[in-house]
Structure 1
């Protein structure tokens, strides 16, 4: 098998997100590895729920269903997201390994937060990363990348049409990766993390790009301990 050659990583850009204000709709943001501006026409809107919740993440008024998604895991075997994560709180993020900033920062912050929890708490959580660039994110590439953030993190890669179909009902825009003349890859995708609860397999919390390690640590401990949202 030919070795995978990494393209040059260009600057990151973000698609515009509306400010998080009480009662206002939230345009979900996205990131890519290309320069330039613009907004995604596929960004969905969800609303922030007025709440006295103990959680620091955004409490959603619309609770999205956990995707019915089956792709390859990092061992190359089929991974059924719903079946394999049943009974656990799931943090779900869509991204790609050659992302220069948002993806490694987000996953790295979650990894640091997870390391602060007890083994019993970590066992109740599943951190799942779904690749938006499956052609380059082979199971081996994905496993090597994830291991630097969390060795227990789940990686899923495969049919991009399935990935888009799973992301769309969540309000997450995923576009086809684009390779320019210099070999640089642009993969534009939603930059938010959704937390699905084991009680109903629905998303109740949202974390935007730039969420701090402290916020993740605070909320992951509550989620692991089963504190109501």
Structure 2
């Protein structure tokens, strides 16, 4: 029994140390900051981009990674926060990775967010960002295929939707499927780390 005591003690210490690390709430170095989920096939619904051309997230998002955010240009708080974080995140990427990423802003207020309005708004962040508008029903259909239920948000006077804090998410789209979602509180560094990780897997 004397010879078994030390190995058993060391094993117990190792087990307790492992539990302690797990109990700290810290993520492993390889963990995503965003929430990975079962891949959702996007609706092939086509909206209109800032060039006035049809654009389908399911078929026209041809970069290895497309980050999709639903919002509206007159949003006073959450939308500018998320868009600023995404803009800052992309500046953390090297040129090769930056070229592999698109950002698409889908308006939830199409009555006011025309293609020209969207273009002017997005150019303040990055001239390469893509804006989409169209029929409100089509926008809702597309969002629902990504499991984002904007049709349940508060109505704007214009007839669009005012997204609340819990609906303000960014989704990762690749090959017509959405597989990761981030909350509005994700930092630029967290976005950049996850983007780099996703690109390395593509």
Instruction: Quote the residue 2:191 is aligned against.
Output: 216
Instruction: Quote the residue 2:87 is aligned against.
Output: 111
Question: Which residue, 177, 182, 188 being the options, matches 1:207?
Answer: 182
- Higher radius of gyration, 1 or 2: 2
Residues paired across the two proteins, number:
170
Aligned equivalents of 2:31 and 2:195: distance in 1? 12
TM-score, normalization by structure 2: 0.75
Question: Which residue, 49, 52, 58 being the options, matches 2:35?
Answer: 58
Quick one: higher RCO (CA 8 Å, sep 6+), 1 or 2? 2
Spell out, residue by residue over 1:142-178, the C-alpha distance to the aligned partner (whole angstroms, 9 max, x if none).
Answer: 1111111121111100100000111113221223742
Q: Look up the SS of the partner of 2:69 in the other structure.
A: strand
Aligned equivalents of 2:161 and 2:33: distance in 1? 32
Spell out, residue by residue over 1:187-218, the C-alpha distance to the aligned partner (whole angstroms, 9 max, x if none).
Answer: 236211111234xx322211011111110111
Unaligned runs of at least 5 residues, structure 1: 1-50
Structure in which a larger fraction of residues adopt helix:
2
Spell out, residue by residue over 1:74-93, the C-alpha distance to the aligned partner (whole angstroms, 9 max, x if none).
Answer: 12222222222135211111
Unaligned runs of at least 5 residues, structure 2: 1-27
TM-score, normalization by structure 1: 0.67
Matches of residues 188-207 of structure 1 in structure 2 within 5 Å? 188=163, 190-198=167-175, 201-207=176-182
Contact 2:49 2:131 in 1 (8 A): yes
Instruction: Quote the residue 2:17 is aligned against.
Output: none
Please give the root-mean-square deviation of Cα atoms over the aligned residues, in Å. Answer: 2.3
